[in-house]
């Protein structure tokens, strides 16, 4: 289309914006599960659904968009294409977040909203109105859960900064910065390069024993797996939760594997320090797989830059398995943010960079040197 109008690859930039997380997760939701959550908060979801949005649905949507972006890049190698991850753009401003003040409680009125009372500490997405769905106007019904005035202004600031990006990186992430409005009348936002490769970009790096791993159908490649995924829950040392750590064992043939135990241990990366058990569960695995969602707390409050913690995820005591799998995750506080990765990996990944990333170890295989997005299937 651009070529048909006489525009060359250097005359334009394509920005693919991955969607923001518009609703708080179960740890941050301000309203009790039940009718209060809809009537008072306009966010009528169960806790499990709120977490499903963050750990499954949103990553799948982003994965599809990322794959399409990569296809376009391959077909148009001379074009300037930037993928802009805004999944964290509404952090602290999502619907129902206990760190926000609802606009209705501030009597925002119908004119242009005032920043300090409605934007700086308010929600940046429209509440979900059942009345609009049942009998409201078409546009009101369509705009439920979409960015409101300040949400749109925040996203516009993300895009503006991405357009002026002069670095070599083509995958960027946008997050909010507290403070007064910019000279453009938009919330302050930070656009940074995503360090390393993430998501679909890392699939080409993932291999074990010379065999390639297919995220679409893992059961066709290996017999048993120990999986883990880290959610971008912690960005600063005062937010102690690393996020959701999803540990799962899978069996390809879908039959029961008997009793097994998944255990998660923590220690600082110091010589001679003992592992401290954080979580353990013994259960039977039925069907395709069983998932465990665990909140971990790598507490870096008061720590010096460079402080590290290790998490060991392992499984044993399984009736049909004759080996023990172990997965190691390193978490590092660099003075400003919390970064994580495989203990043996050369690169660490900023928690702001992605929603859910995967780490994988298989029977008899070495550590993966890359990250694999496990949610394509």
- Annotate 56-105 with DSSP letters as a single string: IIHHHHHHHHHHHHHHHHHH-TTSEEEEEE-TTTTTT-SBTBTTSB-GGG
Domain interval for residue 338: 200-362
> CA–CA separation, 210 vs 372, rounded Å?
16
Residue 376 lies in a domain: no
Among 166, 193, 220, give the residue marking a domain's end. Answer: 193
Number of separate domains in the chain: 2
Q: What is the pLDDT of residue 186?
A: 97
Do residues 307 and 294 lie in contact, with contact meaning Cβ atoms separated by under 8 Å?
no
1-5, 19-23, 74-78, 359-363 — which is least confidently predicted? 359-363
Among 155, 174, 193, give the residue marking a domain's end. Answer: 193
The candidate with the shortest Cα–Cα distance to 277, out of 263, 295, 291, is 263
| CATH code of residue 238 | 2.60.40.10
Render pLDDT for 140-198 as a digit per residue (tens, 0 to 9): 667 777 899 999 999 999 999 999 987 666 888 898 998 999 999 999 999 887 643 33
Render pLDDT for 288-318 as a digit per residue (tens, 0 to 9): 334 444 445 566 667 788 888 887 766 554 4
| 189 plus 269 within the same structural domain | no
Residue 377 lies in a domain: no
Question: What is this structure's pTM?
Answer: 0.52
Q: What is the pLDDT of residue 272?
A: 65
> CA–CA separation, 39 vs 127, rounded Å?
10
| 264 plus 347 within the same structural domain | yes
Residue 165 lies in a domain: yes
């Amino acid at each position: 289309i651009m070529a048909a109008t006489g525009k060359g690859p250097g005359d334009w930039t394509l920005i693919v914006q991955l969607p923001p997380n518009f609703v708080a997760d179960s740890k941050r939701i301000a309203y009790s599960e039940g009718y209060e959550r809809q009537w008072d908060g306009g966010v009528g979801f169960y806790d499990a659904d709120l977490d499903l949005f963050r750990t499954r649905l949103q990553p799948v949507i982003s994965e599809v968009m990322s794959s399409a972006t990569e296809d376009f890049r391959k077909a148009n190698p001379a074009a300037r294409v930037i993928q802009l991850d805004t999944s964290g753009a509404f952090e602290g401003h999502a619907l129902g977040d206990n760190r926000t003040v609802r606009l209705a409680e501030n009597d925002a009125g119908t004119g242009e909203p005032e920043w300090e009372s409605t934007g700086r500490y308010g929600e940046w997405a429209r509440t979900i109105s059942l009345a609009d769905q049942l009998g409201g106007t078409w546009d009101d019904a369509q705009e439920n859960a979409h960015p409101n005035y300040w949400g749109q202004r925040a996203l516009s600031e993300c895009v503006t900064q991405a357009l002026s990006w002069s670095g070599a990186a083509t995958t960027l992430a946008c997050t909010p910065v507290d403070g007064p409005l910019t000279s453009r009348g938009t919330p302050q936002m930070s656009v940074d390069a995503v360090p390393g490769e993430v998501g679909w970009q890392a699939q080409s790096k993932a291999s074990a024993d010379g065999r390639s791993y297919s995220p679409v159908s893992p059961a066709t490649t290996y017999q048993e797996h120990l999986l883990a995924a880290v959610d971008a829950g912690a960005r600063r040392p005062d937010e102690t939760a690393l996020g959701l750590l999803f540990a799962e064992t899978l069996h390809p043939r879908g039959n029961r594997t008997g009793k097994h135990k998944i255990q998660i241990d923590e220690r600082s990366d110091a010589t001679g320090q003992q592992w401290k058990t954080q979580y353990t569960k013994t259960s039977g695995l039925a069907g395709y797989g069983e998932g465990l969602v665990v909140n971990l707390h790598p507490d870096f409050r008061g720590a010096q830059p460079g402080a590290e913690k290790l998490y060991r995820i392992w499984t044993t005591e399984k009736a049909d398995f004759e080996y023990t799998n172990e997965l190691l995750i390193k978490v590092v506080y660099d003075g400003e943010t919390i970064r994580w990765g495989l203990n043996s990996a050369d690169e660490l990944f900023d928690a702001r960079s992605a929603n859910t990333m995967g780490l994988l170890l298989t029977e008899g295989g070495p550590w993966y040197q890359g990250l694999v997005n496990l949610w394509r299937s």
